[in-house]
Amino acid sequence: MNQPLRALVFDVDGTLADTERFHLRAFNEAFAAEGLPWHWDEALYTELLAVSGGKERLQAWWRRLHAQVIDIDGHAVPDLIERLHDAKTAAYEAMVNEGLVELRPGVLALMEQAGRHGLQLAIATTTSPVNVAALLRRALGPQWRLLVPVVGDGESAPRKKPHPQVYLQVLARLGLPAPACLAFEDSANGLRAARAAGIDTVVTPTAFTRDHDFGGALQVLPSLAGVGVDDLLAWRERAHAAQAVGAAA
Ligand code: XBP
Ligand code: MG
């Protein structure tokens, strides 16, 4: 049933901003600071991005390198991963605070137009809360939480995408059913998470995710440049009409 659109739910990394090349740089800076002979290039990082969550990505990398190593005391590896992720997050936050990371084309204009249409705004991301705050403070100003009051992140929702936990959490906090919302994602994991929560999803891939499978997306676009609320309403209308025809057939 085509409910009125009430909220837009944005993923962060790759959707609000093309951040992954900065996360990649921050991971490599953390490896160097720890004295590890690890260096992830873009091709390898593109592969590793199949794992959502920086810590989970580091765990997957460790298993790939040392599948046979047993962590005797059970703490050495988790402690290393925690240390590396803390250093990486600090390096990434510094890059955002230096102004290196900008919102993708069309994002700010759509957020502003959504506000004028009385739509609520929310975030559903697997990244760390400090990364969300740094990016949105820089992009929307210190009052950003007034514009985006509902934020689900890697800490509030530890089950990472494609698990729908963060989207289900955001729907509950919005107090809205999935059909009243529209999600924006950049990756297959993100699309699957949003769709598993029953939310129509517009995808704007990046260079890291352009080869992903976006089956089930409402639209796949090069960016949100020039996209307005009326476009979102038209795409929803058309998709729901097609579903109704399919159901009647
Ligand atoms: C993308 C991710 C995150 C980032 C790194 O999140 O999977 O893990 O790559 O950030 P999104 P952390 O859901 O916004 O696309 O190291 O803080 O996880
Ligand atoms: Mg993303």
- Is residue 71 flagged as an active site residue? no
CA distance 40 to 28: 7
73-77 average pLDDT score: 85
User: Is the Cβ–Cβ distance between 131 and 95 less than 8 Å?
Assistant: no
Q: How many domains does the chain have?
A: 2
| CATH code of residue 158 | 3.40.50.1000
Please return the burial class of 199, using the count of CB atoms within 10 Å of its CB with bins 0-12, 13-18 and 19+: buried
Q: Does residue 1 surpass a pLDDT of 80?
A: no
- Is residue 13 flagged as an active site residue? yes
88-114 average pLDDT score: 98
Same domain, 43 and 159: no
Predicted pLDDT of residue 23: 98
Range of the domain at 203: 7-19+102-248
User: Is the Cβ–Cβ distance between 222 and 247 less than 8 Å?
Assistant: no
* Neighbour count for residue 203 (Cβ, 10 Å): 25
Q: State which of 70, 97, 124 marks the end of a domain.
A: 97
170-178 average pLDDT score: 98
115-122 average pLDDT score: 98
User: Is the Cβ–Cβ distance between 186 and 165 less than 8 Å?
Assistant: no
For residue 179, what is the DSSP state? G
Using a 6 Å CB cutoff, which residues line ligand 1?
Answer: 11-14, 20, 23, 52-54, 89, 125-128, 131, 154, 161, 187, 190
**Percent over 90 (pLDDT), the chain:** 91
Cα of 247 from ligand 2 centre, angstroms: 32
Q: State which of 97, 114, 144 marks the end of a domain.
A: 97
Please state whether 198 falls in left (phi above 0), alpha (psi between -120 and 50) or beta: left
pTM of the entire predicted model? 0.96
Cα of 135 from ligand 2 centre, angstroms: 14
Does residue 125 belong to any structural domain of this protein?
Answer: yes
Sign of CA dihedral 3, 203, 102, 87: positive
Query: pLDDT tens digits for 180-191?
Result: 999 999 999 999
Query: pLDDT tens digits for 201-245?
Result: 999 999 999 999 999 999 999 999 999 999 999 999 999 998 888
Q: Residues lining ligand 2 (ion), CB within 5 A?
A: 11, 13-14, 186-187, 190
Which pair of tokens denotes residue 223? 């960016």
**Percent over 70 (pLDDT), the chain:** 100
CA distance 215 to 223: 17
Predicted pLDDT of residue 50: 97
